[in-house]
Amino acid sequence: MEESIYGKQLPELEKVKTHLMDEIDSVRNRMQAETGIDPVEHCLARIKSEDSMREKCRRKGFPETTESALTKIYDAVGIRVVCAFINDVYAIRDHLATLSDVEIIEEKDYIRHAKPNGYRSYHMILRVNDSDSGGAVYAEIQLRTISQDTWAALEHQLRYKQNISGNTELIAEELKRCADELASTDISMQTLRDTINSGGNCKTSSVQSI
């Protein structure tokens, strides 16, 4: 039987995954106690499969070793958090950034700065330090709204799950248009929630510039 590409570190990966999920649950519970509403629609966590990690090492030009899987590829632990509102995305991001055992290695705000194809999400690469062992594990966090998550899933199906024939440029333009319309809806929904929370007094949303 082939040795795991993670060596003996799978328990550490599971520990970090659980730790981060516990922290996300913590901020969810706090925000729900304050507002009466859970800010997270759903949350998924996984350890990257052996086959996927080996394939990614090959694709990146790295040897298929434990060192590559744990120190050169940063998404052995992956978490996706889907929120109803844009501001909740940033609230959870801010909580993760304050953790004493977490170092932010990289952040990409594709919500305020969407990819050319319309993709929107907030990405974080975290280095989670273990004070007991002195080691560290990397984790990728993706934070997005329901609209952003739905668009990303459908875009993936259209582009990678089917053999697209016809005018691919037109399809790309339509996908971008849909992404922009959903982004506008996200801002409108955030503004509506802000208005309701302020007692019905209309006010400008803090995300209006997105």
Q: What is the pLDDT of residue 199?
A: 79
**Reported confidence tier of residue 159, pLDDT bands at 50, 70, 90:** confident
What pLDDT, on the 0 to 100 scale, is given for residue 167?
72
pLDDT at 78 over 70: yes
What is the Cα 156 distance to its own chain's centre?
A: 16
Q: What is the pLDDT of residue 32?
A: 95
> What mean pLDDT do residues 60-78 have?
97
User: Which tokens in the block code for residue 159?
Assistant: 């582009």
Pick the CATH number of 10-146 from 3.20.20.140, 1.10.1500.10, 3.30.460.10, 2.20.25.240: 3.30.460.10
Residue 207 predicted with pLDDT over 70: no
- Residue with the bigger pLDDT between 136 and 199: it is 136
Using a 10 angstrom Cβ sphere, with 0-12 exposed, 13-18 middle and 19 or more buried, the burial of residue 95 is middle
Angle, in degrees to the nearest 10, between helices 168-197 and 146-160: 170
Q: Is the pLDDT of residue 127 over 80?
A: yes
Question: What pLDDT is recorded for position 209?
Answer: 45
pLDDT for position 18: 97
Does residue 84 have a pLDDT over 70? yes
Token code pair at residue 15:
């520990």
Q: State pTM to two decimals.
A: 0.88
pLDDT at 134: 73
Instruction: List CB contacts of 197: < 8 A, sequence separation 6 or more.
Output: 35
pLDDT band at 162 (very low <50, low <70, confident <90, very high): low
Distance CA 100, CA 87 (A): 23
